[in-house]
Structure 1
Amino acid sequence: MDKAKVALLVGATNQPGWIHEIADWLRREDGFQISALLVAETTGARRGRVSPWSSVGLGSVARLENRILNTRHRAQLATRELTESVPAGTPLIRLTLQRDANDELAVCENEALTAARDLDFDVILVLGLPAVRGTLAGLARRGAWLLAHSELEGRADVTHAGFWEVYQRADHTTVKLWRLGATEQGDALLDSRSFNTEPFWLKNRARALSLGNFMLFDTLRAKKEEPKPSPVAGDLQIHTAMARPLPAQWDGAAYLARQAWMISGLVLRRAMKRNVTWRIAMCPTEREQMVTSAAAILEPPKGRFFADPFVHTQEGQPYVFFEDYYFRERKGKISVATFVDGAFQFLGVVLDLPYHLSFPFIFQHDGTTYMVPETCGNRTIELWKCTEFPLKWEIHEVLMRNISAVDTIVFPHGGYWWLLTNIDRADGTSHCDELFAFYADRPDATTWTPHALNPIIRSPVKARNAGIVVGGDGAVIRCAQTQGFLHYGKGVSLNRIEELSPSSYSEAEGPVHYPSFLRKPFASMHHWHHHGGHTVFDFAFME
């Protein structure tokens, strides 16, 4: 099979770790080869350039926050020679970039450009540089691609990526992959994804760099088909009307003040022992009807919380399986309660393992009741079988191993058994941004085929599973969490799956329902499930 020829366009041979990750991936992945390292030397550059930290007054912020970064994040930012990560003998071509009258960067016509053109690239990756247009747009068959980790005006600014989202307490941070045109009007958006904004700038930037790389890898894997530009408004370009200026000294000082206020608030809450405690509730509703305040509540004992409820009706009697978290043990167990004469009756713990358990998804197959609890703490997806309902269960099969996955649901549809789960591909800190689908011919299969479009959902607005309803009419409603800035469980949406096959996926997006019915500070809800005429959900608020 012919390998796709990829060129890396950078500003110098000394590059940070996130660019080395791209080079390492291209070396490992079948079907790709790094055909050249293009080093851009800019003439006519803006005057008065100084260190990016001192120029914007954010050096103190960077020094403080660098202490909270983990080893992987620090490695993303540490620089070393890129020639160490590209194959030996890779051509190094030094191109000249020049700014035109409109301050746009373009490649100068010279011998180096002719040499690059002769290499007949499939794609050029513009990494850590501003947008380069003009001749570059036609230098490779699939064009020149630019990762925009930030939408600061006039540049794809990596240094300050994620700053404004934290500064303005935005719920989500967006990363975009562009195919550059000869002019800005010719730019095409190949992919746009977002993640839940981290509370600190450098952690947010690290997440943006990680997500950008995964976007790039996913798009490159689809190399046999021309990547289709995402549907966006016709006037949306890299430098949008909403683009923000570079942070100034005042912004750095204001950011520190905001962060100090946020941290002091958290410390004060802890000192006053004000906590958010999760509870579960149940009420009779229709299949797609949202909850109301008229619900029966199961209150947790002191030192525990209840969350992630699933209701299963057996002989007309509802049983609620849920996460039963013990603060002293710092882990969740799976417990069950029933509902009799308008009141909950706690029946006991059904699963207590050495690792954390939650999200006890229940389904039936061939007359047997199964459970797929979240077992991310064991890096597995496990299938448990009920031997004596509802209290006795035994392990039936391990569906997947060595995987950081949460909130898994398994159901039949269209001749296959489907497994939808939230996988964190970066560093194990967040599972809210991407949803993955797999299929097999049995629910207890140990080999699952990935969906052709994985990840099938790419947004923290609705990626993370919050439950599912599979109707007798074949309808499938996927419940999804919505997260906010420092607000886990901001709301829940009900999304009807319209198309699901090994090569396609679409769902009708339902509105996000917020727990306003609680009328409490910091109201939260992140789970919803319906079965047998009963709806269960969880909720929390500041106490």
Structure 2
Amino acid sequence: MDMTKPLRIGVLVGHKDRFENWELMVFDRILADPRFEFVTLLIHPHPFADRMVSSLFALEARLEGKLLARQPAYTPKHFDARHQRIDYLEAISGHNTADGSVASALLKRLDLDLVMRTTPEGLPDDATRALPFGEWAFNFSDQQSEHADWFSYADVVARAPTTELTLYAKRGGETQVAQIASSSFNIKFSAARNAAFVRERGVTLLMRELGRLADTRRLDATSVARLPAISAPSFGDLFRYTGALSGYLSAKAFKALKSKLRFGSSIWTLYTGRGRIDDFDPSQAIEIPPTKGDIKADPFLFQHDGECYLFYEAYADGDRKAHIAVGRFNGDKVERLGVALDCPHHLSYPFVFRDGDDIFMMPETHQSHRLEVWRCTEFPLKWELYSTALEGQSAADSILTRHGDKWWLFTNLSDHHAYEDHCNELYVFEVDGPELKRLVPHKRNPVVIGSTVARNAGRIFERDGKIYRPSQRNSHGLYGYGLNIMEIEQLTLDDYRERCIRTITPDFKTGLLGCHHFDAAGGRYIMDARLSI
């Protein structure tokens, strides 16, 4: 197989115009990448077959989409339907399916490597056999009719912790399909908004996997049973759903009112104890409670001159932005020393580290649309801007770590058009250290996709030859629901692999709603926990 030839891709759609944002994003990115050749748009003669929804559900879905999932139109940079080759599949007379023999002949003539399907109805089995890598599709494409789609409605009605996104390949008439990749995403209050959000995340997942295939010409997939068919909501489901949605919108309006009146901020508390990342018991931790004027989150510990310091995101109830404060431990109590860093924009996640004789801080500054590293000039309260990187990008919860003789940057960027969210994509770069003059992106960025594992939750540790990355477990409709300890099993510029070895949920103490950050130093660990929404 010629590895230098572009991957020849066709996209199966239901019409030649009126594309959704996520479809246009896929078209654009395929055309922009020299590893791919966008050969044709294949038009299915009956893309929805006999799938129907009730007129009541169609009305509800249309209204909800306009009110709660509205997004700006995506303007393609490379795709123009007027200049794109279009091929129409022929229908078998009297059936809502494509003619298999004609479709097979067409695909062989086009010499396609794969077809990406965006419709619920796909290619005939004998046609997919003509494709070396099969027909690819997302599970959300299967859950739609001509007038509405119902992806994630069942999840919202059932109050599922997450919505599952699956990219799979169909190759002929097998009873199983090949699961290429899957991710889990935190549930939104609206199924329509949830579906629109997941579709946008799906673009990133698809392009990563297409890139992997183009580079290797090998489909790394797991055979699974065909995905279960999920029907449109019944009248009872719709009744329960609209009731839950109304309650949520009322609560959201009340929270917005409290915010406008400058109170009702999310309240976090801290817990500390003796232990390290591979051995700690949060049930034995001691609380460092917040005060109305000093709410603490995102804690980092730092040992200096034999004493343990605490750097943290600090804000008062009702504040619209936070600053970085610092305190010093006296036993299990913390003496506040003052403000370490304050800027016109929001600051959080004060990752403090040492390189040689210098002490640095890399706080979250995503509102400034760049990554910032600050150097300490007088410990612990005076800092100067040392370096910046990722100009124009929105990076959250970034960590620098040294492994072997290399520096690595782990950061949460948001690849988005309409829905910015830093909880779902982990990017890795090889860098030159705190100066950040050289950033080499990982070949498989984003290396992790999904709200239950992607977002960083503290410093990366290396112990006894193992590398541990704390990560957030965002689920159950909550930001900061739980905390994972991930073990990084492979870290090179070409490959990344990690596994979850432990998850901490907010049941280690009474009255907690979440926990989402961990750090340790000098035999002491620190966590934060959520007390209010």
Fold equivalence (TM over 0.5) = yes
2:13 to 10, 14, 30: 10
How far apart are the structure 1 equivalents of 2:264 and 2:365? 29
Aligned CA distance change for structure 1 residues 39 and 151 (closer, same or farther; 3 Å): closer
How far apart are the structure 2 equivalents of 1:157 and 1:179? 26
Structure 1: segments with no counterpart, 5+ residues: none
How far apart are the structure 2 equivalents of 1:278 and 1:424? 25
SS of residue in 2 equivalent to 1:59: helix
How far apart are the structure 2 equivalents of 1:469 and 1:125? 38
- Structure 2 partner of 1:185: 175
What letter is aligned with 2:484?
A: S
SS of residue in 2 equivalent to 1:511: strand
How far apart are the structure 2 equivalents of 1:155 and 1:133? 19
What letter is aligned with 1:166?
A: V
CA contact (8 A) 1:296 1:343 kept: no
- Structure 2 partner of 1:441: 432
Aligned CA distance change for structure 1 residues 3 and 341 (closer, same or farther; 3 Å): closer
For residue 407 of structure 1, report the CA deviation from its aligned partner.
0.7
When the two structures are superposed, what TM-score results if normalisation uses the length of structure 2? 0.89
Q: Does residue 1:109 correspond to 2:112, yes or no?
A: no
Q: Does residue 1:380 correspond to 2:370, yes or no?
A: yes
The 5-angstrom pairing of residues 306-325 of structure 1 reads 306-325=296-315
CA contact (8 A) 2:460 2:469 kept: yes
How far apart are the structure 1 equivalents of 2:183 and 2:65? 25
2:37 to 11, 19, 33: 33
- Structure 2 partner of 1:69: 69
What letter is aligned with 2:481?
A: K
2:28 to 24, 31, 44: 24
CA contact (8 A) 1:475 1:497 kept: yes
RMSD, aligned α-carbons = 3.1
How far apart are the structure 2 equivalents of 1:44 and 1:342? 63
- Structure 2 partner of 1:237: 226
SS of residue in 2 equivalent to 1:345: strand
Aligned CA distance change for structure 1 residues 158 and 229 (closer, same or farther; 3 Å): farther
The 5-angstrom pairing of residues 338-357 of structure 1 reads 338-357=328-347
Question: C-alpha deviations, 1:240-273, integer Å up to 9, x for none?
Answer: 3xx4322123322221012123334556778998
Q: Does residue 1:510 correspond to 2:501, yes or no?
A: yes
Aligned CA distance change for structure 1 residues 66 and 90 (closer, same or farther; 3 Å): closer
SS of residue in 1 equivalent to 2:344: coil
- Structure 1 partner of 2:153: 163
Aligned CA distance change for structure 1 residues 86 and 342 (closer, same or farther; 3 Å): closer
- Structure 2 partner of 1:531: 521
Structure 2: segments with no counterpart, 5+ residues: none
Aligned CA distance change for structure 1 residues 376 and 327 (closer, same or farther; 3 Å): farther
Question: C-alpha deviations, 1:69-105, integer Å up to 9, x for none?
Answer: 3433xx37x9xxx9x93465543221124599xx995
How far apart are the structure 1 equivalents of 2:184 and 2:422? 13
1:252 to 238, 249, 252: 238
- Structure 1 partner of 2:110: 119
What letter is aligned with 1:62?
A: R
What letter is aligned with 1:149?
A: F
2:79 to 76, 80, 85: 85
- Structure 2 partner of 1:96: 90
CA contact (8 A) 2:387 2:434 kept: no
For residue 327 of structure 1, report the CA deviation from its aligned partner.
4.8
- Structure 2 partner of 1:389: 379
Question: C-alpha deviations, 1:210-252, integer Å up to 9, x for none?
Answer: 1222222112222131343433xx55223x3xx4322123322
SS of residue in 2 equivalent to 1:250: helix
The 5-angstrom pairing of residues 445-460 of structure 1 reads 445-460=436-451
Aligned CA distance change for structure 1 residues 104 and 303 (closer, same or farther; 3 Å): farther
For residue 312 of structure 1, report the CA deviation from its aligned partner.
0.5
Aligned CA distance change for structure 1 residues 297 and 357 (closer, same or farther; 3 Å): same
Task: Report the identity percentage.
Answer: 26
SS of residue in 1 equivalent to 2:240: helix
Aligned CA distance change for structure 1 residues 180 and 361 (closer, same or farther; 3 Å): same
Aligned CA distance change for structure 1 residues 341 and 210 (closer, same or farther; 3 Å): closer
For residue 303 of structure 1, report the CA deviation from its aligned partner.
4.8
How far apart are the structure 1 equivalents of 2:366 and 2:172? 47
- Structure 2 partner of 1:130: 121
Paired residue total: 522
What letter is aligned with 1:15?
A: R
SS of residue in 2 equivalent to 1:464: coil
For residue 5 of structure 1, report the CA deviation from its aligned partner.
2.3
SS of residue in 1 equivalent to 2:513: coil
- Structure 2 partner of 1:173: 163
Query: Any runs of at least 4 consecutive aligned residues in structure 1 with deviations exceeding 6 A, and if so which?
Result: 154-158, 268-275
For residue 58 of structure 1, report the CA deviation from its aligned partner.
4.1
2:323 to 321, 330, 333: 333
How far apart are the structure 1 equivalents of 2:527 and 2:233? 42
How far apart are the structure 1 equivalents of 2:318 and 2:64? 32
When the two structures are superposed, what TM-score results if normalisation uses the length of structure 1? 0.87
Q: Does residue 1:501 correspond to 2:505, yes or no?
A: no
CA contact (8 A) 1:414 1:501 kept: no
What letter is aligned with 2:129?
A: G
Aligned CA distance change for structure 1 residues 60 and 183 (closer, same or farther; 3 Å): same
Aligned CA distance change for structure 1 residues 294 and 175 (closer, same or farther; 3 Å): closer
For residue 475 of structure 1, report the CA deviation from its aligned partner.
3.5
Aligned CA distance change for structure 1 residues 268 and 138 (closer, same or farther; 3 Å): same
How far apart are the structure 1 equivalents of 2:62 and 2:25? 22
**Which deviates more, 400-409 or 142-151?**
142-151
SS of residue in 1 equivalent to 2:136: strand
For residue 448 of structure 1, report the CA deviation from its aligned partner.
1.0
How far apart are the structure 1 equivalents of 2:147 and 2:356? 56
- Structure 2 partner of 1:424: 414
